[in-house]
Amino acid sequence: MDWHEASEAFETHLRTVRRLSPATTRAYRSDLRDLIEVALLTGVRTPAEADLELLREWQGQASERGDARATLARRTAAIRSFFAWTLEMGIVTQDPSLRLVAPKRGRTLPTVATAPAVAEMLDGLDSLAEGGDPLPLRDRAMLELLYGAGVRVSELCGLDVGDLDLDRGTARVLGKGSKERVVPFGAPARRAIGAYLTRGRPELFVERSGDGAASGGGPETRGSGSALFLGSRGGRISPRAVYAVVSHRLAPALGVEHVGPHALRHSAATHLLDGGADLRTVQEILGHASLGTTQIYTHVSSERLRAAYRLAHPRA
CA distance 235 to 212: 8
CA 158 to chain centre: 12
Cα–Cα separations (whole angstroms), residue 151 to 131, 143, 262, 312: 27, 10, 9, 33
State the catalytic residue, choosing from 28, 138, 297, 304.
297
Active site residue 233: no
State the catalytic residue, choosing from 75, 138, 288, 304.
288
Active site residue 262: yes
State the catalytic residue, choosing from 29, 176, 181, 208.
176
Active site residue 152: yes
State the catalytic residue, choosing from 75, 140, 152, 201.
152
State the catalytic residue, choosing from 56, 172, 191, 262.
262
H or E element, residue 181:
strand 180-184
Active site residue 297: yes
Cα–Cα separations (whole angstroms), residue 112 to 176, 228, 251, 268: 22, 26, 11, 9
State the catalytic residue, choosing from 74, 140, 190, 265.
265
Q: Which one-letter amino acid corresponds to residue 262? A: H
Active site residue 288: yes
CA distance 191 to 197: 10
Active site residue 265: yes
Give Dmax (Cα) for the chain. 69
CA distance 224 to 292: 36
Q: Which residues are catalytic?
A: 152, 176, 262, 265, 288, 297
